[in-house]
A = this chain, B = another copy of it.
């Protein structure tokens, strides 16, 4: 018996009609003898509706209450999907994050999963039930409702698959897989049949919005076979693998771009040991992820530090920086959100030199100035001015020779 965790995002459950389509698909898989946990998001539009109410009432509300409010979104979906399954003769049972119990820390709005109690869910599966779980939400040690933040439902699905040892975790979404580049920018971008978890991690964190970084990290940590596929049309999607790259592995797997970052610079820092930690420690304590980091030494014995964070964190990070600047006697804090980041990713990079020079050459030929560079074993990222994004992605897609057709493989059925 195959044991699958499926996850459907907000668009996939965005109406009664869509919920019925998901129920049809799940009921069919259940009839085929699959053991199933289905993780769902709030119906599309619902979270925004609730947030609008909250904003109207109190823009400065506590995060705790925002989580109490938002978590109702998925709770509605689990009930409705369970009812739809019951109508199809499937014994289904819904669980909120708190009911499962998905234990998290207490950082409301961006909580991290600490533990999953699988007792009740396992009991239901054993009785042949389909278990429907609310994504995006958990509960802290004191019983407060928490939410996991952006893309949290993916994380819920992968965490459940890991905790219960599922054979595969399938993320149904509105795209049919991971592409070599954003198809809206590069018309001949192609769907990847497979991608290594390391590549996916780089792509996810770099702005390919298909999967959330944390869910991929979870998948990688517990070696959960993870597949991204469309809930609107059939197709094999993209499978995230944990194998070593084969000989056929292409040099580059994909090109990602990201407009969600802002660049922060703190200037005139006294150049003493440990000062980078003095600056970045407090930022990290606010649960703000720092991405690219550059440190320059100035002529006058001071140093400049530039780094990027998510735009949503820009205000908080700036406040933190200003306080630190005062404490350590730095001169100036400035921010810039007119930037974009473009990255080429591929495990093939490890054994091939010259990727960087191909990349820089292609950008130079288009007259695009590189503002920051960051590299890892399998990726090279550059920050450029926002306005160059499309041009840069297309130039790189061509420079790395993405012109061959993908090979089709046999496929698991998606929602028809």
Interface residue ranges, A against B (CB under 8 Å): 16, 19-20, 50, 53-54, 56-58, 60-62, 64-66, 68-69, 71-72, 75-76, 78-80, 82-84, 86-87, 93-94, 96, 98-99, 120, 142-145
Question: Which residue of B64, B99, B120 is within 8 Å of A93 (Cβ)?
Answer: B64
Once bound together, how far apart are the Cα atoms of A343 and B20, in whole Å? 48
B residues less than 8 Å from A79 (CB atoms): 54, 65-66, 68-69, 72
B residues less than 8 Å from A99 (CB atoms): 143-145
19 contacting pairs across A/B (C-beta < 8 A): A53-B76, A54-B80, A54-B83, A57-B84, A58-B83, A58-B84, A60-B87, A61-B86, A62-B83, A62-B86, A65-B82, A68-B75, A69-B80, A72-B72, A72-B75, A72-B79, A96-B145, A98-B98, A99-B143
Once bound together, how far apart are the Cα atoms of A26 and B215, in whole Å? 43
Question: Which residue of B20, B62, B143 is within 8 Å of A57 (Cβ)?
Answer: B20
Knowing A65-B94, A98-B98 touch, does A58 contact B72 (C-beta < 8 A)? no
Copies of the polypeptide in the assembly = 2
Knowing A54-B83, A65-B82, A80-B57 touch, does A120 contact B143 (C-beta < 8 A)? yes
Contact, CB under 8 Å: A58 / B87: yes
Contact, CB under 8 Å: A61 / B75: no
B residues less than 8 Å from A69 (CB atoms): 75-76, 79-80, 83
Contact, CB under 8 Å: A56 / B94: no
Query: Which residue of chain B has its CB nearest to the CB of A16?
Result: B56
B residues less than 8 Å from A98 (CB atoms): 98
Question: Which residue of B60, B61, B80 is within 8 Å of A53 (Cβ)?
Answer: B80
Query: Which residue of chain B has its CB nearest to the CB of A142?
Result: B120
Contact, CB under 8 Å: A76 / B50: yes
Query: Which residue of chain B has its CB nearest to the CB of A94?
Result: B68
Knowing A66-B79, A76-B72 touch, does A57 contact B16 (C-beta < 8 A)? yes
B residues less than 8 Å from A96 (CB atoms): 68, 145
Once bound together, how far apart are the Cα atoms of A69 and B86, in whole Å? 15
Knowing A72-B76, A98-B98, A143-B120 touch, does A83 contact B64 (C-beta < 8 A)? no
The smallest beta-carbon distance between A195 and chain B, in angstroms, is: 36
The smallest beta-carbon distance between A79 and chain B, in angstroms, is: 4
The smallest beta-carbon distance between A138 and chain B, in angstroms, is: 14
Knowing A80-B54, A143-B120 touch, does A86 contact B60 (C-beta < 8 A)? yes
Once bound together, how far apart are the Cα atoms of A408 and B82, in whole Å? 54
Once bound together, how far apart are the Cα atoms of A319 and B56, in whole Å? 50
The smallest beta-carbon distance between A340 and chain B, in angstroms, is: 35
B residues less than 8 Å from A93 (CB atoms): 64
B residues less than 8 Å from A62 (CB atoms): 82-83, 86
B residues less than 8 Å from A68 (CB atoms): 75, 78-79, 82, 94, 96
19 additional A-B pairs beyond A57-B80, A68-B75, beta carbons within 8 Å, are A16-B53, A16-B56, A16-B57, A54-B79, A57-B84, A57-B87, A58-B83, A58-B86, A58-B87, A61-B87, A64-B93, A65-B86, A68-B94, A69-B80, A69-B83, A72-B79, A96-B145, A99-B143, A120-B142
Once bound together, how far apart are the Cα atoms of A68 and B20, in whole Å? 18
Once bound together, how far apart are the Cα atoms of A300 and B66, in whole Å? 69
Query: Which residue of chain B has its CB nearest to the CB of A69?
Result: B79
Once bound together, how far apart are the Cα atoms of A96 and B67, in whole Å? 12
The CB with the most chain B CB atoms within 10 A, among A57, A79, A86, A99, is that of A79
